Structure 1
Amino acid sequence: LRERQSSQSSSHSQPTGSRGTPVKRAKWHLGIRSQSKPNDIMNEVYRAMKVLNFEWKIINAYSVRVRHLNKVTNRYSKMSLQLYQVDYKSYLLDFKSLANDEADDLMR
């Protein structure tokens, strides 16, 4: 697979702008990006979770395990939230869905 990818990338030239300079491709990020301070981001996360009646366990300052009871099914929806530094001035809050058995172990 790696050979195929490298041969494909070498066979296609990089797109160029109107002046012949290479166009910088955007990076894909899943989650929410912010230029706020990390503590401000996490405080907003906690505020939103409280308003939505979520339960959570703090793993560290920038990682949280979360669950919310679905009143229709009487089962928990579970996820982890983690804040990453993307570059010197921006952060990414990543959301990851957790399987019920995996999440049960993590919430203990």
Structure 2
Amino acid sequence: MQIRGIIPLTKLNPPKEKHMMLYSNAEANLILEQARNRLTLLSKGFITLAQEQELDSVEQEDATQVQNLLTSIQEADMSGKMADMELQLIVEDTNRIWEEVSFT
């Protein structure tokens, strides 16, 4: 099902070969930097919250996922490569947590 007016990513930039990357290195780096910035803010929020009160199970799970995502980004930086699917999953998870978590 396609929502009217929304173009699937594969139609915007279809790969010419099976193993061709959908993102240039510059695009992937920018996407990862934006995700890293959000995750860092979330991590700091969880640290502050944990100092004030014990995290409940959902907060603890989100805090753990934030740290796992930051680790994935760090590993990608060190290796210099990341598959498009892995990049997409990091972005989706980061956006989900960013929208769900509120420290106010």
Please say which structure displays the higher CA radius of gyration.
1
Structure with more of its chain in helix, by fraction: 2
Structure 1 length as normaliser, TM-score? Answer: 0.29
Where relative contact order (Cα < 8 A, 6+ residues apart) is larger, the structure is 2
Structure 2 length as normaliser, TM-score? Answer: 0.30
